[in-house]
Amino acid sequence: MKKFLTNKSTFSNYMTYAGVVIAFIILTIMGEAGGLSSTMKGQLVPVCAYVVMALSLNLTVGVMGELSLGHAGFMSVGAFSGAVVASALQQAIPSDGIRLVIAMVVGAILAGLVGIVIGVPVLRLRGDYLAIVTLAFGEIIKSIVTNLYIGIDAKGLHFSFLNPLEGLEAGGRMIMNGPMGIPGNTKISTFTAGFILIIITLMIIFNLVNSRSGRAIMALRDNRIAAESVGINATKYKMMGFVTSAALAGAAGTLFGMSQNAIIASKFDFNTSILVLVFVVLGGLGRMWGSIIAAAALTILPELLREFSEYRMLIYAIVLILVMLITNNPGLKNLFGKLIPRRKGAAENE
């Protein structure tokens, strides 16, 4: 117990779990009691999905130290594969919950596989070159998904690329329709599912970071040459971090997709990747609770700013620039530090 309190990172991890559980309980009670507007209720699952996206990207950017600009691509893979699986299993498995779990597992595995395919070339590059290639892969995934047609009939699933699918048997139906995506999606994601996914994600990331593999990943981030000199296989551990991150993003994608009436590929473009990156950087690199708060706040903020309607994105942009300037410029930081008295010792805890 003494060790538990003295170890800063363990303490912060448990506080993060506690915070998520408390937020879940409060929001659930508020939802039951009618204390949440319908817009807010509709935002609960997407917020969970973006939180998981931010956490998983923080694994790549914060823990691995590699800039990825194509994270939405993995979300896209998860959203579409999960939705196709859920749709195909509609008759076979009537329970929404079980179907969602299967969809998420499939979404995570497929996104992880795509992560392996992308990781092999990407992780050989460094710095900004790596970033631009992840961006390129994100756009390639978008193009591929946009041109994919999937239908189902008595014989099973049918796929077509670029050309609309023809020749489905009577009683068959289209699931995925190229540029139109998945128009008629059955929403089966729930806030509880989102909460559980966040907890699982946190457990995977925290436990990974505090294990042999996680230390190897962080060693490569801090000093690749030194890490190799003590026998750490760079490719293996970079891949491990990248694929874990991709799989978690895939699960987040399934969660998100299954909360929407329609899913289209252009939703998961470069801008979404950037949006998630903004959550991660504002929340703090490697700081998981920061990612959770930033993702939740910045997903809800545009909704809250709705009364400013057309000005809201402009305000968002200005807030973003100001926050970056204030937190990263020593002069401005001191100025604001004087205006907002900080809790004593807060600085040391960071």
Partner 1 sequence: MSNTNKLKTKMVPVPSHSIVPERDVDKSPILECRHLGIDFGGLHAVQDLNLAIGRTEIAGLIGPNGAGKTTVFNLLTKVYQPTRGTILLDGMDTSGKTTVQINKMGIARTFQNIRLFDNLSVEDNVKIGLHNQNTYSMATGVLRLPKYWRTEKKNHERALELLSIFDMQDMADMKAGSLPYGAQRRLEIVRALATNPKLLLLDEPAAGMNPSETAELMENIVKIRDTFQIAVLLIEHDMNLVMNICEGICVLNFGQVIAKGTPDDIQANPAVIEAYLGKKKEG
Partner 2 sequence: MLTFLNHFINGISLGSIYAIIALGYTMVYGIAKMLNFAHGDVIMVGAYVCFFAVSAFNLPPVLGLLAAIVLCTLLGIIIERLAYKPLRQATSLAVLITAIGVSYFLQNAAQLLWTSNPKIFPDFFGGIAIKMFDGQLIITLGTLVTIAACIIIMIALTVFTGQTKMGKAMRACSEDKGAAQLMGINVNATISTTFAIGSALAAVAGVLLCSAYPSLVPTTGSMPGIKAFTAAVFGGIGSIPGALLGGILLGVIEIFAGAYISTQLSNAIVFLVLIIVLLVKPTGLLGKQIREKV
83, 277, 295, 298: which one binds partner 2 (CB under 8 A) = 277
State the DSSP string of 38-85.
HHHHHHHHHHHHHHHHHHHHHIIIIIS----S-HHHHHHHHHHHHHHH
135, 243, 247, 252: which one binds partner 2 (CB under 8 A) = 135
Q: From 252, 275, 245, select the one nearest 119 (Cα to Cα).
A: 245
Q: What is the spatial distance between Cα 49 and Cα 257, in angstroms, rounded to a whole number?
A: 9
Q: What is the spatial distance between Cα 235 and Cα 66, in angstroms, rounded to a whole number?
A: 13
- Of 233-241, 255-263, 315-323, 331-339, which segment contacts partner 1 by CB under 8 A? 233-241
Contact predicate 232/290, CB 8 Å: no
166, 222, 307, 310: which one binds partner 2 (CB under 8 A) = 310
91, 163, 229, 349: which one binds partner 1 (CB under 8 A) = 229
301 binds partner 2 (CB under 8 A): no
Residues constituting the chain: 350
339 binds partner 1 (CB under 8 A): no
Binding mask 220-259 for partner 2 (x = CB under 8 A): -----x----------------------------------
102, 111, 131, 152: which one binds partner 2 (CB under 8 A) = 131
211 binds partner 1 (CB under 8 A): yes
CB of 112 to partner 1, least distance (A): 13
Contact predicate 56/280, CB 8 Å: no
308 binds partner 2 (CB under 8 A): no
132 binds partner 2 (CB under 8 A): yes
230 binds partner 1 (CB under 8 A): yes
35, 95, 228, 329: which one binds partner 1 (CB under 8 A) = 228
CB of 171 to partner 2, least distance (A): 30
Q: What is the spatial distance between Cα 224 and Cα 202, in angstroms, rounded to a whole number?
A: 26
Structure tokens at 171: 């009683």
166 binds partner 1 (CB under 8 A): no
Residues 321-340 close enough to bind partner 2 by CB under 8 A? 321, 324-325, 327-332
175, 198, 278, 295: which one binds partner 2 (CB under 8 A) = 278
CB of 268 to partner 2, least distance (A): 14
Q: How many residues bind partner 1 (CB under 8 A)?
A: 27
CA 7 to chain centre: 28
Q: What is the spatial distance between Cα 298 and Cα 316, in angstroms, rounded to a whole number?
A: 9
223 binds partner 1 (CB under 8 A): yes
Contact predicate 297/282, CB 8 Å: no
Contact predicate 31/42, CB 8 Å: no
**Pure H helices in the chain:** 2-6, 8-32, 38-58, 71-88, 96-122, 127-146, 191-209, 212-222, 224-229, 234-257, 270-283, 288-304, 312-328, 330-339
Contact predicate 252/53, CB 8 Å: yes
Binding mask 142-161 for partner 2 (x = CB under 8 A): -xx-xx--------------
Phi, psi (deg, nearest 5) at residue 165? -75, 135
Residues that bind partner 2 (CB under 8 A): 61, 67, 121, 124-126, 128-129, 131-133, 135-137, 139-140, 143-144, 146-147, 162, 225, 270, 274, 277-278, 281-282, 285, 310-311, 313-314, 316-318, 320-321, 324-325, 327-332
Contact positions vs partner 1 (CB under 8 A):
203-204, 207-208, 210-216, 218-219, 221-223, 225-234, 240
